[in-house]
Amino acid sequence: MPKSTPKSIFRHGTFNTEALCALATKYRNGVPCSCDLAQHPMNGSFNWAITVHFEDSIEWIMRSPRSGYDQFSNEISGRLLSSEAATLNASSDNPIGVPYILMSKAQGMSLQEFWKINPSMDGLTLTKKAKVMSQLDEITWKLAQVRFDRIGSLFEGDSEA
């Protein structure tokens, strides 16, 4: 990586962007892609993600567990990611160098992005903004109330994840 390359994309883990693009290109039947090294990774509670851009304007997301996350070891983080989907590589033992999942990027813009580029909200009043946040709160509350008869991962006999 040249010294002038911004390192924000690598703040959660060192990984091979060339291997990532080669793999994504292979999965897209040869459509070339790129990974903007200056992008700021998206963050969640347990994962970080970056965008992979294809020449035909399609975008994919590469998501990976946060390495060194205090609550879980890297091995358990990989197992949790495996539990989420069967079509991924959950090991760091791969050409990219981190556990990952590649997925299509949904069309549109996140609410956070929208509010950042539209501080005036294009006429969206504070009352309407509060209503959106209230609706999101209600949805989150309902999801938090869902209870299952068991806890654990999708893997049989898994006691750690």
> Model-level pTM greater than 0.75?
no
Other beta carbons within 10 Å of 105: 13
Q: Reduce the DSSP state of residue 52 to 3 states and report it.
A: strand
Q: Of all helices (H) and strands (E), which one includes residue 34?
A: strand 33-34
Return the pLDDT at 55.
96
CA distance 40 to 90: 23
Taking a C-beta distance cutoff of 8 angstroms, is the pair 124, 137 a contact? no
- Supply the pLDDT for residue 63: 87
Low-confidence ranges of the chain (pLDDT < 70): 1-8, 12, 67-74, 77-78, 81, 83-91, 119-124, 152-161
pLDDT at 4: 39
* H or E element at residue 131: helix 126-144
What's the residue count for the chain?
161
Per-residue pLDDT tens digits for 24-54: 999 999 999 999 988 888 887 777 889 999 9
What is the Cα Rg of the chain in Å? 19
Query: Number of helices and strands (H, E) in the chain?
Result: 4, 5
Terminal alpha carbon distance of the chain: 35
The one-letter amino acid code at 137 reads D
Q: Which residue matches tokens 């709160």?
A: 137
